[in-house]
Amino acid sequence: MSMYEVSKIYENSVSSDRFPWKIGIPLYVLSYGFMFGFLDSYFWDDWYVNVKLSVSEAHSYWKDNLGFFPTNRFVEVSLLGRNPVIFHLLTFVIFMLIPVVAFNIAKQLKLMTQEQRVIFAVFLLVLPINSARVSMACFRLSYSLLLFLCAWLLLIHPRMKKVKYLSAPLFIVSFLAQSLIPFFVLPCLHSAYQTYSDAKSKPIIKAMARFSYFFIAPVYLLIAWIFSPPVDSRREYYTPGASGIIRAIIVLIVVMLLMVRSLQKSKIAKGDNAIPILYSLSLVAIGFGAAAYIASGRLVDISEWMMNFVPRASDWESRHQLLLGIGISLFFSTLAISMQQNYRKRFFFGIISICVILNVSMMQGYFLDAKKQNEAIEIFSEFEDISSWNSVVVIDEAVVYNARNRKVRSYEWEQMIVEAGGSKNVSVVTSTYPCTTTANSKNAVLLLVESSRGRFTSMIKNGVGLRITKSSVLVCE
């Protein structure tokens, strides 16, 4: 497809009020198409939660960790049966639908032009954040965000006035992702803005009804923590520290002051006057999207915000960036719209190209990671004494195939060995140290994992050429 044809598709998209399918879908598939090469694979906590634990143990695990409504237990364990293929296919669809719903929410914001909505939606499709989406353990975050946005659209869409209050139960179900609780301020503010901007409405009555929505999130949190809290260890994990809360409050105060300042300096209207408001609104969205994570001690320095844009950076923590996409996409789309027309397309296609390249690199990493896992299981199964292994030391020298330069954890190796026919009681460590003279030692299996192939060759040959050498070693008891 020539640049002229691409430019023509862009122009047709911005002249229509529909979602930009012709631009978005090819870019999305190109960005994340590698997912179809590892549909049956596991990453990070998947090996523990969705492989090691039985159905009843998984139910108990999620109940202890999350408490309250058993949404994810029903959806993930009972309904989907923890099937990795279904999880990954649904994840692929969900992250495609999120920008579609967000686009329709943006259509109810008169400050945005149709061209900006198109740019906003495409950015949201391919923005290289939350790459931990490939993990089944993050699936609840994915569908929670989609449910949240659907509830938002239901609340503010003019054609949904008769059923808009059905958005409340959708919001409540979506709060399974607790970071959405402070983010809930945004649809509440959007609803309040609609009430006061509608000249035909009765502001006081409608404002009171819509203001009541603000109480849904804190009431939910209070009920959840009183009647069905997580176990004590997880309760501590979810409880924000004082320093984190102060940081989050400072961030929210700053972005809200910027919003108030922009409203004071600009009249709410189409065109250039809306630009300062849209910039401040994007910062508000980013602030409320990050607030829960900042309060819990995450996203506190620049490296945590930028890690997804470094192709070889480990990004399991990118699940903490789930809610940043809307604000970042709004910021970049506003920046594009503020440019002259002849620079606007260049900026749009330039940023999109960078995003797609980063996504392809990221997903290729997961593809090779999955190949490495499969080859490791196949090689393990060839060791005749694997069922007698009790203590194992794995030295991984093939880290070039670990997605995003991540470290394969001990319990992942343990479950790979079990999958290959090993004992369920096998214990794996990924490093060993000399024993002190007084410590007791025991024999262990030493597995040296190597490969001489590069990533490019591995892609061509559809395999990483893994070699695993088995020997014995003394380790401390």
pLDDT tens string 303-316:
778 777 777 777 78
pTM for the structure as a whole: 0.88
3-state secondary structure of 378: helix
> In whole angstroms, what is the distance from residue 99 CA to residue 127 CA?
11
The band of 86, judged by pLDDT with boundaries at 50, 70 and 90, is very high
> In whole angstroms, what is the distance from residue 456 CA to residue 400 CA?
11
Q: CA nearest 353: which of 27, 6, 119?
A: 27
Angstrom distances, CA of residue 169 to CA of 138, 148, 180, 226: 22, 10, 14, 19
> In whole angstroms, what is the distance from residue 184 CA to residue 181 CA?
5
Strands 467-476 and 441-450, by their bridges, are: antiparallel
Residue 343 confidence (pLDDT): 87
Residue 333 confidence (pLDDT): 93
pLDDT tens string 151-163:
999 988 878 777 8
354-360: average pLDDT: 92
Residues with Cβ within 8 Å of 353's Cβ and at least 6 positions away in sequence, in order, are none
Strands 391-396 and 427-429, by their bridges, are: parallel
DSSP letter at 430 equals: S
List the chain domain ranges. 3-338, 367-476
CA 409 to chain centre: 20
Q: In what order do the strands lie in the sheet with 427-429?
A: 427-429, 391-396, 441-450, 467-476
Buried b (16+ CB within 10 A) or exposed e, 150-168: bbbbbbbbeeeeeebeebb
Residue 414 confidence (pLDDT): 92
Per the listing, tokens 């590069």 go with 454
> In whole angstroms, what is the distance from residue 346 CA to residue 73 CA?
46
Angstrom distances, CA of residue 400 to CA of 151, 407, 419, 446, 458: 42, 10, 23, 20, 11
- Lowest mean per-residue pLDDT among 42-56, 255-269, 318-332, 369-383: 255-269
- Lowest mean per-residue pLDDT among 5-9, 46-50, 75-79, 266-270: 266-270
Percent of the chain at pLDDT above 90?
A: 36
